[in-house]
Amino acid sequence: AQSVAQPEDQVNVAEGNPLTVKCTYSVSGNPYLFWYVQYPNRGLQFLLKYITGDNLVKGSYGFEAEFNKSQTSFHLKKPSALVSDSALYFCAVRDIGDYKLSFGAGTTVTVRA
Amino acid sequence: EAQVTQNPRYLITVTGKKLTVTCSQNMNHEYMSWYRQDPGLGLRQIYYSMNVEVTDKGDVPEGYKVSRKEKRNFPLILESPSPNQTSLYFCASSHKSGASGNTIYFGEGSWLTVV
């Protein structure tokens, strides 16, 4: 069985400061990992994914994530947060060969001006 | 423009009154799926379909039905809605070919309230 944990319900940062949203996963095989963002009253937007290769993945809106196999983590990062980054962020995992996407509970990010 | 389109976006209905939430994608995707989003639980898969006439249960299928008669459409049917089905519903799709690392695309969501 596959699962995702997002240990923080909320993350609060000041604009211009680094932003990190944590994610750990569990799969039986090798993982495909994804980050999605949900703005208020909107659908889920794809940010980035790790399939294979370089452990540092760059995505949309200046976000990046680092895959760490030994720690089974895939933390989302942004060097300098913007107020417009305030949203709900979801980490998700797929096991190789499985099309089911399992989501974490989500982390609400608030960036204050 | 590549899209997953859901309708209705907002619906208030009464217990027991059958309803259908439609989903359509224009990307020729083989794989389609329905999720529900509840606070503190993230998104949970209800049903999925790997291709036309092929559907299977996800994690929370009770109280729902689906059909896949055409590749582009994947409606979600609530035969007898109950208040515990009040939720935000998302339809999603992706290509099936190649590795399952294909990105899944989501619709805008359908807010359903059952009173």
| pLDDT band with cut points at 50, 70 and 90 for residue B107 | very high
Mean of pLDDT over chain A: 92
* Dist. CA A23–CA A47, nearest whole Å: 14
C-alpha A66/C-alpha A79 separation (Å) is 13
Q: Which residue of B has its CA nearest to A1?
A: B59
> For the residues B108-115, what does the mean pLDDT come to?
96
Please name the amino acid found at residue A39: Y
The answer, yes or no, to whether residue B97 has pLDDT greater than 70, is no
Select from B9, B1, B56, B11 the least CA-distant residue to B34.
B56
* Interface residue ranges in chain A relative to chain B, Cβ cutoff 8 Å: 4, 6, 9, 32, 34, 36, 42-46, 49, 51-52, 90, 92, 94-106
The answer to whether the CB atoms of B100 and A32 lie below 8 A apart is yes
Contact list, A46 vs chain B (CB under 8 Å): 103-105
| Minimum distance, in Å, between the CA of residue A55 and any CA atom of chain B | 15
Write the residue in B90, B92, B100 that is nearest to A94 by C-beta: B100
In A, minimum Cα distance to B50 occurs at: A99
B99 pLDDT more than 60? no
Tell me whether B107 touches chain A (CB under 8 Å).
yes
- Which of A38, A39, A41, A44 is the best mutation test for B, with the most CBs of B within 10 A? A44
A75 pLDDT higher than 80: yes
CB within 8 Å: A34 and B90:
no
What's the mean pLDDT in B58-82? 97
Average pLDDT over residues B80-86: 97
Residue A49 amino acid letter: K
| pLDDT band of B101, cuts 50, 70, 90 | low
Residue B98: partners with Cβ closer than 8 Å, 6 or more residues away: none
A57 within 8 A of A51, measured Cβ to Cβ: no
Q: Supply A21's token pair.
A: 């949203």
How many Å lie between the alpha carbon of B82 and the closest alpha carbon of chain A? 23
How close, in Å, is residue A35 to chain B by CA atoms?
A: 10
Helix (H, G, I), strand (E, B) or coil at A74: strand
Average pLDDT over residues A59-84: 96
pLDDT at A77: 98
Q: Can you tell me the mean pLDDT for A72-101?
A: 91
> A11-51, pLDDT tens digit by residue?
999 999 999 999 999 988 888 999 999 998 788 899 999 98
Q: Quick one: average pLDDT of B2-19?
A: 95
- Kindly report the average pLDDT of chain B as a whole number: 92
pLDDT at B47: 96
